[in-house]
Structures are given as structure tokens and as C-alpha cells.
Structure 1
Amino acid sequence: MTDTAVPIEAPANRYLRDNFAPVREELTATDLTVTGHLPEHLDGRYLRIGPNPIDDPGDQHHWFLGEGMVHGVRLRDGQAQWYRNRWVRAAGVAEALGEPVRGTPGELDFAANTNVLEHHGKTLALVESGLPPYELTHDLDTVGPCDFDGTLPSVPGRPGYSAHPHRDPDTGELHALSYSWMRGNRLTYSVLGTDGRIRRSVDVEAHGSPMVHDFALTEHFAVILDLPVTFDIKAATADTPRLQRPFVRGVLNRVIGRNPLPEPVIARIARGAGGPSLPYHWNPDYPARIGLLPRDAEGDAVRWFEIDPCYVFHTLNAYEDGDTVVVDVVRHARMFATELTGPNEGPATMTRFTLDLRTGRVSESSLDQRSQEFPRHDERLTGRRHRYGWAVGFEDGVPGDSVLRHDLTAGTTASRHLGADMEASEFCFVPHPDGTAEDDGVLLGYVHDRSDGRSQLRVLDAETLEDVATVLLPGRVPAGFHGNWAPEGTDPGDL
């Protein structure tokens, strides 16, 4: 007899196959192979996070809902000392791994999966929509939920935190805009001090209950994006038993935009209502607008500017220019209208909104028509006029092999193709300590090599996009979200 191999069918859900497929092993590797030459000034960790479901979530799974896994490489003295990948141990992850629960999670708990950064000596894994950050050790093990020394309680009366805080380069403080379906039309603008405590928090009213993934910061304003992807009560309750559905929807209707319920009640509703799908969908009847909130004002001081319907996951940067405010973003024509498992509604392009403070009008102009995402800039210029920006080219809704460099003064874009078998991810900019030019530095990002199924940490020259060094990793880093450079002994939150 001859053994016959039975082919294993790939998941129907595109966000569970190819480089979106989760990895199942946590690895620790030391003395990694390096080609090229790692700059001697790179002394720290490159950290990046993304969804990595710990169990099979099924074909209706939404990419944004996988439990977070952090991947890190430690660079020092021209060497790559280690690579580690670790699940964020929220309560459910710890229990699935047969481990004790870290810290004291609240009723609403999730393994943060969207961003990871260093502030006030803490490595923080971040997520949005009313859920708290998780603190990690230097070696990426989980400490537990972080409430900023009790200044950010995880209760419906106040949301958790944001996936996209922005650091003021003058003060080192983190500014954030938080949202949550539990709070309806109330967004929260907060300032996290260099002492690791929230020192300022004000509420802003949106039209309804929007998904606010990112915002922008200028010297005097928080730039708020109130756009037509909103909480969908019917979608959130689709998996609720039919006889219970009217009651649950009635309760949610009383919550959305009105008084919040106690946390245990909302947690019970959320556990029965969420399912594998993201309950935020395109809402064609929802007005699109950009708000300017003075950084030292109360929430009712926000000034709104109407724009054409669109959606923005990520801002590049924003700045004030006389009587105008310039906001550079990656613009999607719509989001979660027909594709409900991930962000795949057509090309997204680099776009500039210019808000006229005298007339209240907004002009919109295209900066680059190539499909792209994950824009980054020199964060020493956050809220200030910038010339350069970098992004990753997308193909058919997934990351391609190209890295883009935008010169917004010259109006040109350079593109570097890494190779046909390569799949890029977000690259962050790290300035040279002695550099004087805005683009004098390197870009750090993970790249997946489909030819051998493993990933690399690529170091590119930020000006030319040419290779500086490559660190070979022992496994695959799946397509994920955001990463940052965490320099050793120089925490920007301690400025």
C-alpha cells in the first residue's frame, strides 16, 4: 500500500493564511546573523506588535481581533543580541497557555495587539476601544494591565487608552484620543505626563459612536477625525440568541450615546454580542468632519470642519501654517462596507487636508496616488512642519514589497522594491544622533521572505532607501501593525 497525503485546505479567510497566519511558537534566539553593518549608535530594541490568534477563530474572524503578540530585536555595538516573540498575557491568553493570570485584569480584558512603545521606563502594549494597555518587561514578558498609576481606570465611565498616542517632542508627554462603544458619542483627549500619570483629560462630543483609530497633534491643537465608520448594534448582536436579541439591542441602544452601564453588565453583553466580527461598519449617512480642539481648552471648544466622506486609519503628521492647519493622512474612500474581515475596500492614498481657520473651509489634495499604508515621519517634528514621510506600498489590500519616501516639498515620491518574494511591514524612522538633516537616519522594519518562510529585520538608509543591514530571524513575523524603536537608557518619556 502507498500512503496518500491528504492536502490541507487553506483557510477561506485571507487574514488567517499566508503571512497573516498566526505563528504558534514563542522563540528566543541570540547572536543573530547580520549582513551589512548595523550602525553603532543603534543601542536599543526594535519592537512591533500584531494580532496572533491563540485559538482557531473561524472563517468569520476579523484581523483586528486576534490576541496580540510582540516581536523584538535587541541591537547593540553593531550586533543583534536577541530576538523574542511573546503573546501578551491577558487573562484569556494566560489561561489558554496554562499559566497564572498576570496582574488584576478588569471585566473587559484583551491582549493588546496594535502598538508597542516605551514611556516612563515602561514598555506598553496598546489597543483601543476602551481597553487598557498591558505593561511588558524589557524581555517582553507580561507584567499585567497598566492603569497609569491609577489615573486611567478601566471602567465604562472613562475609556481605556488609545492605540495611537503622539509624543510632544518639546515636553515628552504622550497625547491621546480614546473612544469606546460603551461611551457612545464621547471621545476623550488625554495627556500622559513624563511621570507616567494622566495629568489632563477632557471629553469631546462626536456625531455618534465612531471608530477613531488615530488623530494628529499640532503645537496648539488636537486634530480629531470624526468619520463614517461607526458602531453597528445589529452586527454586535448578530451572535446573540434570537430570543435574547431584542433585550440586548435595547440595552445597547440605551448605552450608545447615553449613560454608561456598570462594567460587569457591559462585560456580559459584550461577551455575548461580539462574536468574531468587528462591530464597526461603514455608515453612509454619517457626516465626515475634522475637529480642532485647542490643547488647553475644554471639549466644547472644538471647531469642526466638514469634509467629503472617507476613512482614515493613520495620520502622517499635522502642523500649523499661519491661518491654516495642514493634516497629512492616508485616505480610504470607505471602510468595512463590503469586506468585513479586514481593511480591504480599495486603494488608500496619501492625501493632504488644509483647514482654513478664517473661512472654515477645507481643501483636499492628493500627494501620491499609489496604494499605501503605515505612514511615518521624523517624530522630532510631530506637530511641526515636516518635509519627508515614509510608507509601505500595498497590493490588492495587503503589504507589497515596496517602501515609499515622500518629499512633500519637492512633490516627489521615491520607491524601493525589496524583491519579488519580500513582503514589507511598517518602517519607523530613527534619526542619526549627529545628523542635521530631517532624513539623516535609518528606517527599521520587519520583512517577510516568502522563499524561505522566515522574516528579517531590515535597516534602510532613510534618504536613499538602500540597504544598510539585515538581521536574519529564526522564524516568521506575521503581518501586523505598529512598531517603534526603544533606545536603551534614553526613554523619550523622561525628557
Structure 2
Amino acid sequence: MTTNPLHFPEGNPFLEDNLRPVANEITDVHLKATGTIPAYLDGRYLRNGPNPVAEVDPETYAWFAGDGMVHGVRLRDGQAHWYRNRYVRSTTVAHALGERTPRNRFRDGFRAIGANTNVIGHAGKTLALVEGGVASFEMTDELDTVGTCSFDGTLHGGYTAHPLRDPESGELHAISYSFGRGNTVQYSVIGRDGRARRNIDIEVNGSPMMHGFALTSNYVLVFDFPVTFDQAAAASLSMPRRLRKPAELVLNALIGRVHLPDPITIAIGNLAPGNKGFPYSWDNDYPARIGVLPREAPATAIRWFDIEPCYIFHQANAYEDGDTIVLDGVRHRRVFDQNRRDPIEGDPAMHRWVLNLLTGTVHESQIDDRLQEFPRVDERVVGRPHRYAYAPMLSEESEGPTGVILKHDLHTGNTIARDLGPGKEAAEFVFEPASADAAEDDGVLMGYVYDRADDRTDLTFLDAGTLETVGQVHLPQRVPHGFHGNWVPTGL
């Protein structure tokens, strides 16, 4: 067990309550459980999120920039075999813990923070993911850090926090962004062998933050939305006060215009400290649009569809329906505008966009008006027509987590809401089918649930059909609210 005593002053909501970092890395092989852990689950539930390794300034700490920590539970034969939580050992984290830095290749991306946003399995490897040009990391099955990730040397300069796996080919599709890419983003396809087989640059309107994207059977959807690189914020993060204005002028002349060589981009990116500030903000002058590109076509074949200004962090899914493409996702009116530390400013709710490929028009409608985020579908229907989407509901008062899980039936238009009880706070839940050919809601939802009264966390299993609790694994410590988790079956 690694013990890392931490004390965080009050004044920043992202360092308080269940966003408060945990100090210890724990391995527990004597876990207690109640109810039933489905016997068909053989693998690991993993979840990534920010957890600063050292004390930070509450005035400047930004949740999106915190050091990454992965929490995982190993399941097999209806039992929970272990819980582990481990920091992603970036250079900064390794130094803070007094350890040797793991494999750290310069071209793999910025290394100011450990990858803190997502964690997946692919080609036999566990990958902690992040975006914006920051290096992703490979980890072992037991969550020890191996080193930075470049997909066997085939992809440099950072990756994405949100790849999508095609359920038929098993390939990972991704859109990656970085301030050094000029007015382009990168579309890549990682094969089942863990190497990039396709990698093209797509021209956009500037230097946007492209947190998500969507996939259909034949197209990739590119979200070019009005959150863009903020040169003044970047200069204030990385430069002494007397050099900030000159640095801002230089960045203004380059960012969104000039594609910088990877070594220069990475050298600049490494100037910014982790756990401090966020260099993207809402841009009222930047139009919102969705690009539609045939998967195997050149970048020049992309078609753009203008939409009302908004931001989509997380899509639920997209699919083709005749001459249209249907996109379901959580719509934010705006983000990173008045509050640079808080990603939620604009009543996030589930919406649908229907893109007409014949007329070039877009129809938008609201699916559900309750505040929600982190929508998920059955991974077997990614890019194909889906019936169900699941999402944790957010509080109307605080826009923070609640204990309510929503199940949207997109065929009937009905939504089921399950309240897990007083004082419970639910994070993202993921679906795993009971068998390969099970129905779309025949299986379990799993995710971490925090209990405020006991200050502890359970890995909770819900019947996806009814949302009733099936079982719980009681963890030895609190798991702070974070970003994304996934079920990683043995052998993936």
C-alpha cells in the first residue's frame, strides 16, 4: 500500500465532498459483497478520474487537469477477487511519490499530468486515456504503470479520451485534438492488433476542444463546437507574469493556423503544470457544426451540418436510418464560459439530432428534460440502431450527482427512473449483456455508488431490464467521483 498524506484547503468544490482526493493506494483481496455478482462476469470493472498526488492551490485547481487514478475490481465466478487503486505514473506523479519514472517516450504527448479521463482494454493491454495532446499510458492488468502509449509507435502526439470500438471489426476509432495541430483534428483507426491502420487530418474552423464524436456503420461524425483553445489562459498557466502577454501574442499567431511539429508542441505543452487551470473556453464567435465523413474516404469528402450553438461532451450513440443519420447525446447550452473550473453551466439534457444527407438540414429535439450526463448504450450496438440508453441524473439545485439512474426507451419514448436511496450518489453505469446473443437490456448495469452517510463506495450491479439492485461489492475506501469507467472482459 502506498500512503500519500494529503491536505486540501477549503474553497474549491472539486476538492470537497466526494470529489476530495484519496491519499492511499490499496490492494484488498478480501472483499465483502451482498446480493449476487452475476457469474458470467469474468474481467475487471475499471474507472479513471482526477486525484491530485500533491497539495494544490484551491484557487487555480481545475478538475479536468488533476492527476489520474484508476480504481478497479476483478470479478470471476460470481466473486470479487480484488480491489486496487493506482495513480497513473506520469513524470510528475512518479517524482512526487519518490519513484523512478516509467517508460516515457517524448513523442507520445505532454506529460504534465497522468492520463485521468478514461480506461479501456484493447489488444491485450490496459490503457489509461486522456485528450488534448496529453500522453496516454499503458498499465498492467493489476494497474501498475508500464509507460506512455503510442500504439506500438504508430500514433504520436496524444490520443483521445473517447475512442469508440466498432462491434463488428473490433477496431478503435478516435478523433484527437491538440493546440499544436493547427486548424485540424486527427481521425485514427486502431486495429485489433493495437496498431494504427488509418490516420488522417480533418480541417476544422480553428483549435476546438473535441471531447467526443460519434460513429455509424459507414460514417464518422466530427463535433466542431464552440469551445476553443484560450491563448490568454494558456499563457497565464505556463509563463511568468512578465512574459504572459508576449506569449499570448505568439500563441494567437499560431494556434488554429499553423500545424506545429510534434516536438515543439510537446515542449510547449510540458510547460503547463498539472492540477492547475484549463486552457479551453467557450467562444461565442465560433460556429457549431457536425461533420459527416465516410469512414474510408479522404478528409476532403467531409460534409458539414450547422446546428444551434451548444456542446456535446458525450453522445449516447448514432446510427443510419435511410437517408438520415440519427445522433442521441447530452446537450449543454454552453460550457467553460463563466466558470472555467466547472464543465456544467447549461442544463445538460438528452437530445436527438437527425441529419438529412439529401437536404443538408438538421432537426433537433429533446428526448428528456431532466439534467443528466455520461449516457451509455449496449456496446454491441455502437454505430447501429439502439433502443435503450442509460444515464445518471444530476441535481436540479447543484448540477452534481444524485442517486437516480435513468433508462431511456427510444422506441416508446418512456423513461424509467430508479432512485438508489437517500444520500447515494451514482456515477456512470456501463452495460454488460448476460450472453453474446442476449437482448439489448438483458444483462447488468455496473458502476460505483457513493454513500454520503457512511462515506464509502460500492460497486453496484443493477438488472438492466428493471433497474433493481442485483448485488454490491463493498470497497475498502471511498472512490471519488471521476470520469469514465468500462467493463474489460478477460482476454480483451
TM-score band, normalised by shorter chain = over 0.9
Q: How many angstroms apart in 2 are the aligned matches of 1:186 and 1:56?
A: 36
Please give the per-residue CA displacement for 1:367-400, whole angstroms capped at 9, x wherever unaligned: 0000000000011001100000000001122111
Q: Equivalent residue for 1:347? A: 347
Q: Equivalent residue for 2:356? A: 356
SS of the aligned residue for 1:243 comes to helix
Farther off after superposition, 387-396 or 274-283: 274-283
Please give the per-residue CA displacement for 1:330-365, whole angstroms capped at 9, x wherever unaligned: 000100111111213032000000001111110000
Please give the per-residue CA displacement for 1:239-288, whole angstroms capped at 9, x wherever unaligned: 43343223312331233123344555444544555672111111111100
SS of the aligned residue for 1:310 comes to coil
Contact kept, 8 Å, 1:192 with 1:198, in 2: the verdict is: yes
Letter in 2 for 1:351: H
Equivalent residue runs for 1:23-422 within 5 Å? 23-59=22-58, 60-106=60-106, 108-109=110-111, 110-154=113-157, 160-239=158-237, 240-263=239-262, 265-272=264-271, 276-395=276-395, 396-422=398-424
Letter in 2 for 1:243: R
Normalised by the length of structure 2, the TM-score is 0.94
SS of the aligned residue for 2:380 comes to helix
Contact kept, 8 Å, 1:236 with 1:274, in 2: the verdict is: no
Percent identical pairs in the alignment equals 55
Q: Equivalent residue for 2:15? A: 16
Over 3 Å counting, the alpha-carbon distance change for 1:267 and 1:118 in structure 2 is closer
Superposition deviation, residue 236 in structure 1: 1.2
Contact kept, 8 Å, 1:31 with 1:79, in 2: the verdict is: no
Contact kept, 8 Å, 2:180 with 2:262, in 1: the verdict is: no
Letter in 1 for 2:255: I
Q: How many angstroms apart in 1 are the aligned matches of 2:294 and 2:263?
A: 35
Contact kept, 8 Å, 1:91 with 1:105, in 2: the verdict is: no
Please give the per-residue CA displacement for 1:106-139, whole angstroms capped at 9, x wherever unaligned: 2721310111010000000000011232000010
Contact kept, 8 Å, 2:183 with 2:258, in 1: the verdict is: no
Letter in 2 for 1:431: P
SS of the aligned residue for 2:313 comes to strand
Superposition deviation, residue 238 in structure 1: 2.3
Contact kept, 8 Å, 2:372 with 2:391, in 1: the verdict is: yes
Does residue 447 of the first structure (1) align with residue 446 of the second (2)? no
Q: How many angstroms apart in 1 are the aligned matches of 2:269 and 2:234?
A: 8
Unpaired stretches in structure 2, ≥5 consecutive residues: 1-6
Superposition deviation, residue 452 in structure 1: 1.2
SS of the aligned residue for 1:11 comes to coil
SS of the aligned residue for 1:313 comes to coil
Letter in 2 for 1:124: L
Q: Equivalent residue for 2:439? A: 437
Q: How many angstroms apart in 1 are the aligned matches of 2:56 and 2:267?
A: 20
Unpaired stretches in structure 1, ≥5 consecutive residues: 1-7, 155-159
Superposition deviation, residue 320 in structure 1: 0.3
Over 3 Å counting, the alpha-carbon distance change for 1:9 and 1:104 in structure 2 is closer
Farther off after superposition, 56-65 or 94-103: 56-65
SS of the aligned residue for 1:98 comes to coil
Q: How many angstroms apart in 2 are the aligned matches of 1:266 and 1:427?
A: 36
Normalised by the length of structure 1, the TM-score is 0.94
Superposition deviation, residue 16 in structure 1: 0.7
Q: Equivalent residue for 1:4? A: none
Letter in 2 for 1:169: P
Contact kept, 8 Å, 1:238 with 1:273, in 2: the verdict is: no
Contact kept, 8 Å, 1:21 with 1:478, in 2: the verdict is: yes
Contact kept, 8 Å, 1:71 with 1:84, in 2: the verdict is: yes
Q: How many angstroms apart in 1 are the aligned matches of 2:422 and 2:271?
A: 44
Farther off after superposition, 262-271 or 373-382: 262-271
Q: How many angstroms apart in 1 are the aligned matches of 2:134 and 2:465?
A: 38
Q: How many angstroms apart in 2 are the aligned matches of 1:486 and 1:264?
A: 33
Does residue 481 of the first structure (1) align with residue 480 of the second (2)? no
Superposition deviation, residue 435 in structure 1: 5.0
Letter in 2 for 1:367: I
Q: Equivalent residue for 2:4? A: none
SS of the aligned residue for 1:152 comes to coil
Letter in 1 for 2:458: Q
SS of the aligned residue for 2:242 comes to coil
Superposition deviation, residue 401 in structure 1: 0.7
Contact kept, 8 Å, 2:185 with 2:204, in 1: the verdict is: yes
Contact kept, 8 Å, 2:206 with 2:257, in 1: the verdict is: no
Q: How many angstroms apart in 1 are the aligned matches of 2:105 and 2:404?
A: 40
Over 3 Å counting, the alpha-carbon distance change for 1:173 and 1:231 in structure 2 is same
Please give the per-residue CA displacement for 1:217-244, whole angstroms capped at 9, x wherever unaligned: 0011001111011111111112433432
Letter in 1 for 2:127: L
Farther off after superposition, 259-268 or 71-80: 259-268
Contact kept, 8 Å, 2:217 with 2:320, in 1: the verdict is: yes
Q: How many angstroms apart in 1 are the aligned matches of 2:464 and 2:194?
A: 31
